[in-house]
Structure 1
Amino acid sequence: MLSQVSAQGHRIIVERFGAVGARGYHYRLLHSLVTDGPASQAALGRRTGIYLSDLVGALNELESAGYVQRSPDPADRRRNVVGLTERGRERAVELSERAHAVQDELLAPLSGPEREQLTGLLQRLWEHHRSGG
């Protein structure tokens, strides 16, 4: 059941984000930069769970659109630090609103307390497996 609901959620995300020329990776990256601040590409990959090959492509798209900027890391000039632009902050807000709407659509049949319980349980599962379980 988890896999089937996940597939439905993914379908809705692809449709809703695609309508504004975005992808789920874009939201995850922008949200991470808003929440946790600038980071190296490797750190962003760890924070978001996006594989490096997919991460570089998504960052290229975000940079081309003017949402992020890469600059040399002052501590290690071989590495880039990715940061948000003002336009990227605005895009993060827009995509966050869409993500909340997607969650509302996906969880529509559940009451408020049921939604809280489900998201709490999913959070516990995610944290367990993220930490190596």
Structure 2
Amino acid sequence: MSDSTPDRVRPTDRPATAARLRNLGTRLLSLAAIQSDRLVNEELARAGARKWHYAVLATLEEFGPASQSELSRRTGIHRSDMVAVINELADHGRVERSPNPADRRQNVIAVTERGRELILRLDRLLAEVEDEVLAPLNPSERAQLTRLLTTLVDHHGHQM
């Protein structure tokens, strides 16, 4: 690299962006989501986890044992994908399956101690990522952003 080429692009070094783009909320939301998603995925991967692992473990931790179909409904993970997620978590001893006493055709999934340890570690990790992503915002602005995003997600009928 020559002396005139920066190692890293700073906000002031970026080319001017058209006002239409700078002021388009959906574009800004997409750009922020892309950055946030990248950081979350990178950090979860370093911990040997994925977003779906976190979603399943958090749901089991909060609501207790559940069937795969119930987990699918509560997390928004498609039923066909849920099988693979449960298999991955079970292979690492983070969840266990047992027959549903009410319906032997179903399994009940429960979080294990190893799963509880992982969810606590992931909670800390994701809090750090959130702090990094939302660093420019003060606590009041962060709370407002969360309320606004919740309103959008609820309005469009997405499972949280």
Q: State the TM-score bracket (shorter-chain normalisation).
A: over 0.9
Structure having the higher Rg: 2
The 5 A counterparts of 1:45-124 are: 45-124=72-151
Q: CA deviation at 1:3?
A: 1.4
Q: Which runs of 4+ in 1 moved over 3 A?
A: none
User: Secondary structure of 2:156's match?
Assistant: helix
**Range that drifts further, 86-95 or 48-57:** 48-57
Identical-pair percentage: 49
Q: CA deviation at 1:129?
A: 2.7
Amino acid at match of 2:41: V
Distance in 1, matches of 2:115 and 2:140, equals 33
Q: Which residue of 1 aligns with 2:40?
A: 13
Instruction: Report the TM-score, using the length of structure 2 for normalisation.
Output: 0.78
- Name which structure has the greater RCO, CA cutoff 8 Å, separation 6+: 1
Distance in 1, matches of 2:136 and 2:31, equals 16
Unpaired segments of 5 or more residues in structure 1?
Answer: none
Amino acid at match of 1:57: A
Q: CA deviation at 1:131?
A: 7.0
Distance in 1, matches of 2:127 and 2:62, equals 16
Q: CA deviation at 1:109?
A: 0.9
**Range that drifts further, 51-60 or 76-85:** 51-60
Q: 1:36 aligns with which of 63, 66, 69?
A: 63
Distance in 2, matches of 1:131 and 1:25, equals 16
User: Secondary structure of 1:130's match?
Assistant: coil
User: Secondary structure of 1:78's match?
Assistant: strand
Instruction: Report the TM-score, using the length of structure 1 for normalisation.
Output: 0.93
Structure with higher helix content = 1
Q: CA deviation at 1:117?
A: 0.2
Unpaired segments of 5 or more residues in structure 2?
Answer: 1-27
